[in-house]
Amino acid sequence: MDTLNLDFNKRYNYADYLTWMDDVRRELYDGFIKLMTPAPSRRHQELSVNLTLQIGNFLMHKICKLYHAPSDVRFPKDKKSQDDKLVYTVLQPDIFVVCDMSKLDARGCLGAPDMIIEIISPKNSQRDTRDKFEIYQEHGVREYWIVSPNDETVTVFLLDEKGKFQFKGIFAGDDKIPVNIFNGDLKVDLTELFTS
């Protein structure tokens, strides 16, 4: 339940979002509020930690940085705008990697991360597979992974030269997925990801 009694039919911006001082987790989709689940499941958290360890260990002493929810990623319509009143889309991806340090500030990331990973649950699968997919594609996220805990699969999309996501594959079992933003120098081992 939204404790601030915000109008879900009203369009808000990031400047508004910054004034909401309560414990309710929200995202903005083109200015419209979407409530998030209060806390991810234990399985979701295990997968997030396993991914963070594999990718984070690879990134030690490298320029790219890894972040995880809750951390705001702001997607301005005008990619050069830093005006909070002109930012209408604010998401909290489960995991994201940023290699352009100019996009990082004290409040998170302004602009598209290089890679985003979302771990889906039955309650949010449509958001990750359709709504966020479209936002990430529109704003130029280079690599997008969707992790399905129930199926123990990872679906990978890569941004092509025309700015459209191309399906790279569904990975499962003992696959090792090359992380394309690192030219395959890192391979995420699914046996380590889905270990209980």
Arithmetic mean of pLDDT over the chain:
93
Which of helix, strand or coil describes residue 181?
Answer: helix
What value does the mean pLDDT take over residues 57-67? 96
Q: What is the CATH number of the domain that holds 153?
A: 3.90.1570.10
pLDDT digits (tens, 9 = 90+) for 139-151: 999 999 999 999 9
Domain with 144, as residue range(s), is: 41-70+91-193
The beta strands (E) that lie in 50-180 are given as 65-68, 73-74, 90-91, 95-98, 104-105, 108-110, 115-119, 143-148, 153-159, 165-172, 176-178
- Note the pLDDT of residue 25: 87
In this prediction, what percent of the chain has a pLDDT beyond 90?
Answer: 82
Q: Quick one: pLDDT band at residue 196, thresholds 50, 70, 90?
A: low
Is residue 179 one of the residues assigned to a domain? yes
- Note the pLDDT of residue 1: 45
The beta strands (E) that lie in 65-164 are given as 65-68, 73-74, 90-91, 95-98, 104-105, 108-110, 115-119, 143-148, 153-159
* pLDDT beyond 70 at 122: yes
* pLDDT beyond 60 at 79: yes
User: Cα(174)–Cα(153) distance, rounded to whole angstroms?
Assistant: 10
Is residue 28 one of the residues assigned to a domain? no
- Note the pLDDT of residue 18: 94
What's the pTM value of the predicted model, to 2 decimals?
0.94
Cβ atoms within 10 Å of 100's Cβ, excluding its own: 13
Q: Structurally, how many domains does the chain consist of?
A: 1
* pLDDT beyond 70 at 2: no
Is residue 24 one of the residues assigned to a domain? no
- Strand 73-74 with 90-91, pairing: antiparallel
